[in-house]
Amino acid sequence: MPSTRTHAPRGALVFDMRQLGRQAGSALTQTRIVPAPDDLRLELIGVPVGSDVALEVRFEAVSEGVLATGTVIAPLAGECARCLAPLSSSVTAGFQELYLYADGRHDKHDKHDKHDKHDKHDEQEEQDAEELYYLDGDLLDLEPVFRDAVVLALPMSPLCQEDCPGLCAECGAPLADAGPGHRHEAAADPRWAALKQLNDTENNHQDRRAGAIDLQEG
Ligand SMILES: [Zn+2]
Ligand SMILES: [Zn+2]
């Protein structure tokens, strides 16, 4: 069966750095509309897969790599954390990440092979290296940085409106629709009062009958 997961076409978040060059200080700004990859979501809200996400990135050549600084504006769809009504909004996320030239990485591996006594230090360095980003030749894959930035910016408790009153604790009706007069005061309605009286009377009768049975048995 074909997968139903939609992936952004490979390359939508890959940028070619040939135009930037390696001259420290040179800079390049690019804007793109990219289709949202999947899994950009938290429990209640997320970026609809394939929706248009606006991206602006400034690439700046520095001595050890390329500094990517950018802004993402993505549409959001989800539900209100208080009243569960569907809602749509948007999120703006910023990021700044250094992508290292990959040739520097090979130098480190050579050192590691040659100097055994530095093993422990180099292991630590390699652990740190897992969180570093590298250029792949002239290509810079922005997806992991883009993904982290958007997910971090998603609201944990999205609200349909800032002062959403939520749901009625007694009947579950959305209070925003029910209006400010929504109440559950039984005494306010004479029909409820009459019914309550009837119930009380019946309970009394039952009590007396139960008492009578007790007497007979005793
Ligand atoms: Zn709400
Ligand atoms: Zn209610």
Which of 3, 56, 49, 61 is CA-nearest to residue 31?
56
Highest mean pLDDT among 74-78, 128-132, 191-195: 74-78
Radius of gyration of the chain, Cα coordinates, nearest whole angstrom: 32
**Ligand 1 centre distance from Cα of residue 82 (Å):** 5
Mean predicted lDDT score pLDDT of the chain:
82
Could you tell me if 56 and 44 are in contact, meaning their C-beta atoms sit under 8 angstroms apart?
no
Residue 112: pLDDT over 70: no
Rounded to whole angstroms, the Cα distance separating 136 from 16 reads: 10
pLDDT at position 114, please? 44
pLDDT at position 33, please? 97
**Ligand 2 centre distance from Cα of residue 172 (Å):** 6
Rounded to whole angstroms, the Cα distance separating 25 from 50 reads: 35
Q: From the CA of 178, which ligand is nearest?
A: 2
Query: In what helix (H) or strand (E) does residue 93 lie, and over which residues does it extend?
Result: strand 86-100
**Ligand 1 centre distance from Cα of residue 161 (Å):** 6
**Ligand 2 centre distance from Cα of residue 171 (Å):** 4
Give the pLDDT band (50/70/90) at residue 181: confident
**Ligand 2 centre distance from Cα of residue 161 (Å):** 20
**Ligand 1 centre distance from Cα of residue 90 (Å):** 16
Say what angle helices 102-114 and 119-129 make with each other, to 10 degrees. Answer: 160
Q: What percent of the chain has pLDDT over 70?
A: 69
**Ligand 1 centre distance from Cα of residue 85 (Å):** 6
Could you tell me if 113 and 84 are in contact, meaning their C-beta atoms sit under 8 angstroms apart?
no
pLDDT at position 115, please? 46
**Ligand 1 centre distance from Cα of residue 159 (Å):** 5
Q: What is the pLDDT of residues 11-59, one digit of tens each?
A: 799 999 999 999 999 999 999 999 999 999 999 999 999 999 999 999 9
Residues forming a β-bridge with 19: none
**Ligand 2 centre distance from Cα of residue 167 (Å):** 8
**Ligand 2 centre distance from Cα of residue 194 (Å):** 21
**Ligand 1 centre distance from Cα of residue 178 (Å):** 13
**Ligand 1 centre distance from Cα of residue 113 (Å):** 59
**Burial class of residue 34 (count of CB atoms within 10 Å of its CB; 0-12, 13-18, 19+):** buried
pLDDT at position 68, please? 98
Rounded to whole angstroms, the Cα distance separating 34 from 140 reads: 15
- Side-chain half-sphere CA neighbours of 81 within 13 A: 11
**Ligand 2 centre distance from Cα of residue 178 (Å):** 8
As a whole number of Å, the end-to-end CA separation of the chain is 75
Residues forming a β-bridge with 78: 45, 87
Residue 145: pLDDT over 70: yes
